[in-house]
Structures are given as C-alpha cells and as structure tokens.
Structure 1
C-alpha cells in the first residue's frame, strides 16, 4: 500500500470517473487504474463499484476513503515540518473568501502580503460558507476567510477582526431622522436582504429575530450583492444593513444615509479558518499577521455584540 495509491483512490472517489481522476493526478488512466487494482488485490476487497454510472464507492470503500484522507493529510505534514524547519514560507496556497468579505478585505491586504511573501502562490476563490466548509474538509482549500463561529468539529478558527453592522436608510424610511439606532428598532419586514446562501443574510435575520417575529413571505426583495441592495435602498425600496468595511468607500452623499448602532454595536466575527490537521501553518500565520495588522487600523469599534452567522 502506498500514499500514491491512496491519492488515486481519493481522486476517483471525488470525480467518480477514472479518466477525470487520472487527469487530476497527471498520470495516464491505465496507470491509475492499475495502481488502484493492485491496492484492491492486496486488500482482497473492491473499493469501487465499477458497474455503476457514475462509479460509486462500495460500503467498505467509503470507510477506506475516510481513512485515506487522514493518511494523505498526515503524509503532507512531513513536507510542512521540513518547510517550517527551514523557515520557508512559499508554495501554492488555496484560499477561499466569502462574497461579503472579498471586495473590501482583499484589496486591503493582498498587495502587502504578496510583497512580503513573494514565494507564496495564492489561489483565491470567492465561495459561500457552505462551499468553503466542504472544500476544506475535502482538502481542496488550505484555508478561508469567513464569518464565525461555525461550530464545525473538523475546522479551527482564528479571529481576525470584529466588523460592526451599519444601517443604510433612505430618506423616506422611518429610521432616517434618528441619529443612532438600536437593534430593537429593526424590523426584517421592511429590510432589503441578500439572497439565500449568504451568511451575512443569516446574521441579519438572527439579529432581527431576537426582538421581533418575522414572516419570510413579507420580504420585499433579495439580491446577490451588497452594491445592489444599496442602489435599491436609494430608490426608496427599504433599508438594509451593511458590513462596516463596505461603508468606507461610499460617496459622501450615500454616507449621509448611514446610521450607527448604540453600543454594544451588533457585529460579525470574521476569522481565518482551516482544517484541524493544521497543514501549511506557516502561511496561515503569515496571513493572520498581515490581515490583522491592516484591519486593526481600519476598525476602531471595541464594544460589540457578536451575531451568529449560522442559520437558525
């Protein structure tokens, strides 16, 4: 039994196709098939049911894949140990970022990080929290930046910053004349929300649920982007809540519509998350150091109330 054979098994389990798995592993399909066959012969079992389309794992195959993930992860740790011993911070690093963080945070830290760690090849994807959790667990992401806590046993979290919620109220809205607002003023039924799949949307709903019952049928409108919510609000279609960093680059005429919460300000916790196997920790720590240093100067709020991103 070899690490290579187990890697091939994981590739076929993921793609449910020998040809696609071979392409992913940069080997020929006959080579990959032969190695998996050798492993099955050695164990005297079938890992895959080749009669199914697409290919499926057998019951024992499912257990083998679970163990194979652990073994391959632990084998990768050896290179990590060597890199850390040499003080090397480099190589490919796959990072996921949720959509409501990507457009504001990435421009703040990316240039600094690339200059400070030129040997790191960052591959960044915008993904939902659900996609991020799945890809971290499958080994397809090294880390991600997301709203936390996520309460996932397999995932560790390092808090980067707390980002307050800020109300954006058009002139025709009932809260426009108030200088500051309280969470008890919120009513989800006159609020513009992000569409399903965004954890910031769930945070807003959780914030409103604490104080008022809501009827999802009354939601006026949902959108896929915060920028669209602002434009719709400007049209008088309702208020919305924004993450604080999104308010920094608003034009002055739009900033007149911002209303801050009385302390403690409701806020989301934004963290760097990664698998509990803790691979590539030297790069994770470098990211945390760069991001925390930059954001610390942008967000001065101290007294905050963390709102869960989990859908309840």
Structure 2
C-alpha cells in the first residue's frame, strides 16, 4: 500500500470516473487503474463497483476512502513540519474568495503578498460560500476568504476585518432626506438585492428581518454586480446596500447618495477560513498578516453589529 495508491483511490471516489480521475491526477488512465487494482488485490476487497455508471463506492470502499483521506492528510503534514522547521514559505497554495469580497480586497493585498513571499504560487478562485466549504472539505482549497460566522465543525475561522454596510439612497427615495440610516428604516420591498446564492444578499435579508420565504414581487434581478444595483437605484427602482470597501470606488456624484448607519453600524465579518487539519498553516499565517496589515489603512476599527451571512 502506498500514499500514491491512496491518492488515486480518492480521485476515483471524487470523480466516479477512472479517465477523469487520471486526468486530474496527471497520470495515464491505465497507470491509475492498475494502481487501484493492485491495492484492491492487496486488500482482497473491491473498493469500487465498476459495473455501475457512474462508478460506485462499495460499502467497505467507503470506509477505506474515509481512512485514506486521513492518511493522505497526515502524509502532507510531514512536509508541512519540515517546511516550518526550515522556515520555508512556498509551494502551491489554492485560495478561494467569495465574489462580493474578491474585487475590492484582492487588489489591496495581492501585490504585497507576492512581493513578500515570492516562493508561494498563489492560485486564486472566485467561488460561492457553499462551494468554498465543499472544496475545503474535499481538499481542493487550502483556505478561503468568506463572510462569517459559518459555525461549521471542520472549519477554523480567523476574522480579518469587519466591513460596515452602507446605504446607497438616491435623493428621490423615501429615505433620500435622512442624514443617517437605522435598520428599522429598511423595507425589504424597496431594497435591491444581489442574485440568490450571494451571502451578502442573505445578510441584507437578515438585516431587514425579511421572512425566510421572501421573494421579489415586481421583478427578479439575476446579477452579482453592485454596480448594477447602484445604476438601478439611480433609475428610481429602489435603494441598495453596499459593503464599505465598494463605496470607495464610487465617483463623487454617486458618493453623494451614500448614507451611513447609526452606531453601531451593521457589518459583516470577513474571515480567513481553512480546514482544522491546519495543512500549510505557515502560508495561512502569512496571508493573514499581510491582509490584516493592508486592511487597517482602509477600514477604521469600531464597534459594529455583526450580521450573519446565513439566512437563518
């Protein structure tokens, strides 16, 4: 039994197809199939039922796959131990970022990070929170940046910053003359939202205390763009809420429509999240230090009211 064989088993279990598993593992399909077969012969059990389409995991195979994940993770940890002992911060590192954070945060820290840690090959993927969680669990992401708290058993959350919500309210809106906003002023029926699936949308719905089964009555907006929400607000279709960092990109004219909340303002907690196995922890710590340093210059730390990103 070898680590490589276990890695191939995990690939087949994930993709339920030998050809695709081989492609993802960067080996030929005959090589992967032969190694999986050798392991099955050694153990004298069938891990996969090849008669089914897609390939199914047998009952004993499911137990082997679960144990294989632990073994492969522990093998990876050995290299981590060596890297930490040598003070080495480098290698491939895959980072996921939610769409409502990526456009504003990434330009702030990426150049600093790659200059400070040139031996790290940072692979960045924009994904929804749901996909981030699944990919962290499956080992396809080393870490992610997401709105928290998520309170998921296998994930560690390290808060990076607290980003206040800011109202974008045109003068013609019913709140256009208000100097400041209060959450009780908000009516979900005239707040423009991102498309379903964005955690910022769920946070706004929670802030407005809308029912769980809320749905737009007049039209449905299938957009993930804050710029679109701002433009629709300017057309008299409602107000919207923006994360604070997004307001820094508005021109002078649009900035006149920004309205801040009374203290403590509602805010989202943005955290670095990763599996509790803490693989590649030295790179995680480096990321946290760089991001925390740059964000302090953009957001003044203050008392805030954290709004859950989950529509509970």
With normalisation by structure 2, the TM-score equals 0.96
Give structure 2 stretches of 5+ with no counterpart: none
**Gapped regions of structure 1 (runs ≥ 5):** none
1:115 aligns with 2:115: yes
CA distance in 2, matches of 1:23, 1:217: 43
- Preserved CA contact (<8 Å) 2:143 2:284: yes
Q: Return the offset for 1:311.
A: 2.2
SS in 2 for 1:181: coil
The superposition leaves residues 60-108 of structure 1 with CA deviations (integer Å, 9 ceiling, x where unpaired) of 2122212211111111000000000000001110000000000000000
Output the CA distance in 2 between the equivalents of 1:16 and 1:42: 21
* C-alpha distance 273-136 of structure 1, shift in aligned 2 (>3 A): same
Cα shift at 1:257: 0.5
Structure 1, 213-222 or 18-27: larger mean CA deviation: 213-222
| Change in 2 beyond 3 A, CA 1:19/1:125 | same
What is the rounded CA distance, in whole Å, between the counterparts of 1:10 and 1:241 in structure 2? 43
Which residue does the alignment assign to 2:140? 140
TM-score, normalised to structure 1, is 0.96
Q: Deviations over 1:163-215 (max 9, x none)?
A: 000000122111110010101001111110011110000000011117x8984
- Superposition pairs of residues 1-312 of structure 1, within 5 angstroms: 1-209=1-209, 215-218=214-217, 220-222=219-221, 223-312=223-312
Residues 203 and 307 of structure 1 are in contact (CA less than 8 Å); yes or no, is this contact kept in structure 2? Answer: yes
**Contact 1:77–1:279 (CA under 8 A) maintained in structure 2:** yes
TM-superposition CA deviations, 1:212-248 (whole Å, max 9, x none): 8984243644222111111111111110000000001
Q: What secondary structure sits across from 2:274 in the alignment? A: strand
Root mean square deviation of aligned Cα: 1.4
SS of corresponding position for 1:162: strand
> Using a 3 Å threshold, how does the CA distance of structure 1 residues 214 and 81 change in structure 2: closer, same or farther?
closer
The answer to whether the 8 Å contact 2:128/2:197 transfers is: yes
Instruction: Tell me how far apart the structure 2 counterparts of residues 47 and 273 of structure 1 sit (CA, whole Å).
Output: 32
Is the Cα contact below 8 Å between 2:212 and 2:311 reproduced in 1? no
Runs of 4+ in 1 over 6 A off after TM superposition: none
